């Protein structure tokens, strides 16, 4: 392990992190995962700190994971959603966030439909801002928990071949995963219809394919993504039946995978579309491990960022 010490008050994306910083978070998460195996699953690391879970877009996994992570670190937690905040009365994001800070919020976990929303707050507030997903831009803690899970199951990430399959264009999970996987030395192939996997992604250093049957036998990990209908303003493929036929991980297709290939999905899953329902619960699936590891990774992120004080 290098001499690196974490020196960021915010976590906005994976793109700006070095490989050493990513390794540092993953190693820190190891210690917090161990805390989860104790009888008393709580440590005083953030005692006296206040965390606001500010979710302007829906979430099950990320919101509950951050709430539990903060609780296990002994922080006080407040949950705010779009419908319960004064955003519905026309208040701006900045004004709402300033109110939170005036109430001495130390950490704000923000999910927002606009790319850059977390950075906008980070540049204006003293509180730590953790990006819990901003539009189609980044979802850094999802990528960190995905990297953690791959490392846990495979031993290391360098040299692995990872396929990310589905709606890449509108996926913040895909972007954050691409940055993280490449920084840690994996090879990444994106698979999906050309309308949802435009060639411009090649500039990031990935390979693109529309032939899932050719890619599946070559990979160590498949990460399936759902179609993000909520961000799409037109039809990107003829219909779901066509999508499943060409890009769905069906039981027949799964026979092409290596026996030790990991099947991942960030959730929410559309069973029977991007992945067959039985495969999602099958022996190669690590989907629930991703959720469990998300807690340890988010404890590490809150601990590292929440410990940075600004004047």
Q: How far is the CB of 61 from ligand CP (least distance, A)?
A: 4
Q: Which stretch binds ligand CP (CB under 6 A): 2-10, 57-65, 66-74, 192-200?
A: 57-65
How far apart CA 309 and CA 280 sit, in angstroms, is 42
- Find the shortest distance in angstroms from Cβ 100 to ligand CP: 20
**Under rule CB under 6 A, residue 288 binds ligand CP:** no
Alpha helices in 163-231 (DSSP H): 172-183, 212-215
CB of 217 to ligand CP, least distance (A): 27
Binder among 268, 278, 281, 307 for ligand CP (CB under 6 A)? 268
Regarding 271 and contact with ligand CP (CB under 6 A), the answer is no
Stretch that binds ligand CP, among 55-63, 67-75, 256-264, 297-305 (CB under 6 A): 55-63
267 counts as binding ligand CP under rule CB under 6 A: yes
DSSP-derived pairing of the beta strands 107-112 and 50-55: parallel
DSSP 220-266: SEEEE----GGG-SS-SSS-HHHHHHHH-B-HHHHTTS-TT-EEE--
Token pair recorded at residue 249: 């991980």
Closest to ligand CP by CB, 146 vs 220, is: 146
The verdict on 266 binding ligand CP (CB under 6 A) reads yes
Extract the runs of DSSP E, i.e. beta strands, from 39-197: 50-55, 76-81, 107-112, 128-134, 161-165, 187-191
Chain residues binding ligand CP by CB under 6 A are 59-62, 133, 139, 142, 266-268
């Amino acid at each position: 392990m290098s001499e690196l010490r974490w020196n960021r008050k915010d976590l906005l994306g994976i793109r700006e992190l070095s490989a050493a910083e990513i390794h540092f978070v993953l190693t820190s998460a190891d210690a917090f995962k161990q805390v989860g195996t104790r009888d008393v699953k709580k440590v005083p690391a953030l005692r006296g700190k206040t965390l606001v879970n500010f979710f302007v877009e829906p979430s099950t996994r990320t919101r509950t994971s951050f709430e539990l992570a903060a609780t296990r670190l002994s922080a006080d937690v407040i949950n705010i959603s779009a419908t319960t905040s004064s955003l519905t009365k026309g208040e701006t994001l900045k004004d709402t966030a300033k109110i939170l800070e005036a109430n001495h919020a130390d950490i704000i976990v923000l999910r927002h439909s606009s790319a850059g929303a977390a950075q906008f707050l980070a540049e204006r507030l003293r509180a730590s801002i953790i990006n819990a997903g901003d539009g189609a831009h980044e979802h850094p803690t999802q990528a960190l928990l995905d990297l953690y899970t791959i490392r846990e199951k495979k031993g290391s990430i360098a040299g692995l071949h990872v396929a990310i399959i589905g709606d890449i264009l509108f996926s913040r999970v895909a972007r954050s995963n691409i940055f993280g996987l490449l920084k840690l030395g994996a090879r990444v192939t994106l698979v999906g219809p050309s309308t949802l996997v435009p060639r411009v992604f090649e500039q990031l250093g990935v390979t693109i394919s529309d032939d899932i049957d050719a890619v599946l036998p070559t990979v160590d990990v498949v990460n399936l993504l759902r179609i993000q209908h909520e961000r799409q303003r037109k039809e990107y493929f003829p219909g779901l039946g066509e999508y499943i036929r060409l890009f769905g991980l069906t039981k027949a297709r799964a026979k092409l995978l290596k026996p030790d290939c990991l099947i991942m999905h960030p959730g929410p899953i559309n069973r029977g579309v991007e992945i067959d329902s039985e495969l999602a619960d099958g022996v190669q699936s690590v989907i629930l491990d991703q959720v469990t590891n998300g807690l340890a990774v988010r404890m590490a992120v809150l601990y590292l960022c929440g410990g940075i004080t600004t004047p």
